[in-house]
Amino acid sequence: MRTLRFRPTQWLRGGTSGHPGAPTVRRDALSSEPPPAAPAAVARPGGAGLLLAAAVVYNDWLLEFALPTGLDPRHSYVSELYAADQPFRLLFSALELTAAGLVVAAALPLARRGGPRGREPAGWWCLVAFGVFSVADVIVPMRCAASVEAGCEAVNPWHTATSALVHAALFGAMAMLPGRRGGAWAPAVPVVALVAAVCTVGPLFGHPGWHGVAQRAHLGLVGVWLGAVGVRLARR
């Protein structure tokens, strides 16, 4: 008896009988191997993990409670931690860049996927922009720590501009991405984060004080939101 050998693209007519008019079956239809996962399906769990990691790293300011930074968290900007003349600038700059890289790595594959899903693709592109502008924020840091150095101005034009772009991209992403539907509390997170961000601008208008508390609350809420987007992405 001859043994039948099948090529991957060989057609079987009527099983092995070869009778004309019998049903046609492809060899690959008989395989028990599952079909390869679609790129979007692969990107979702990976992106979820990256966003959860970014949520933690983005709040690197918590390290200031363990390090002798010389800054008062109540009355200083987090950006002062990696100001050009600060002792831990390399550490905090590296952590800021890591958080930005994690966000871009998570959002870019999902943004490039596109698809007719309302505002969501635009939201992923906003998140990519958030990461890119965060990198720029580190590249052009504050020159000094205004909260503790006499004569140091809180307004650094380039750094202030990149920070404004970071916030514009962030709130654009918050308005469009599915994390806003992550639970009964989720819609309130962007609103409270926006209020906290507005409360940080006092020093820019010559009225410093307690802006550090508002900014750190804002960063914590951004971390919560990134985590919520990651969890929802993992469950889809």
- What digits encode the pLDDT tens for the residues 148-157? 999 998 889 9
Residue 29 and residue 89 share a domain: no
Residue 13 and residue 123 share a domain: no
Q: Please name the residue ranges forming H helices in 26-150.
A: 39-57, 89-113, 120-139
Give me the pLDDT at residue 92, please: 98
Residue 131 and residue 22 share a domain: no
Tell me the pTM. Answer: 0.80
Asked if residue 66 belongs to a domain, the reply is yes
Residue 165 and residue 50 share a domain: yes
What residues in the chain have per-residue pLDDT under 70? 1-44, 115-118, 178-186
Residue 20 and residue 110 share a domain: no
Whole domain around residue 89: which residue ranges? 40-235
Residue 178 and residue 218 share a domain: yes
Give me the pLDDT at residue 95, please: 98
Which residues on neighbouring strands pair with residue 24, listed in sequence order?
Answer: 13
Residue 117 and residue 195 share a domain: yes
For the chain, how many structural domains are there in total?
2
Residue 133 near residue 166, CB atoms below 8 Å: yes
Give me the pLDDT at residue 154, please: 87
Give me the pLDDT at residue 235, please: 86
Residue 63 and residue 16 share a domain: no
Cα–Cα distance measured from residue 223 to residue 236, given in angstroms and rounded to the nearest whole number: 20
Q: What is the pLDDT of residues 28-82, one digit of tens each?
A: 444 455 554 444 554 567 899 999 999 999 999 999 999 999 999 999 999 999 9
Give me the pLDDT at residue 12, please: 39
Residue 103 near residue 54, CB atoms below 8 Å: yes
What pairing do the DSSP bridges indicate for beta strands 24-26 and 11-13?
A: antiparallel
* Owner of token pair 């020159």: 143
Residue 92 and residue 56 share a domain: yes
Asked if residue 3 belongs to a domain, the reply is no
Residue 12 and residue 109 share a domain: no
Asked if residue 70 belongs to a domain, the reply is yes
Asked if residue 138 belongs to a domain, the reply is yes
Give me the pLDDT at residue 185, please: 60
Give me the pLDDT at residue 224, please: 95
Give me the pLDDT at residue 187, please: 77
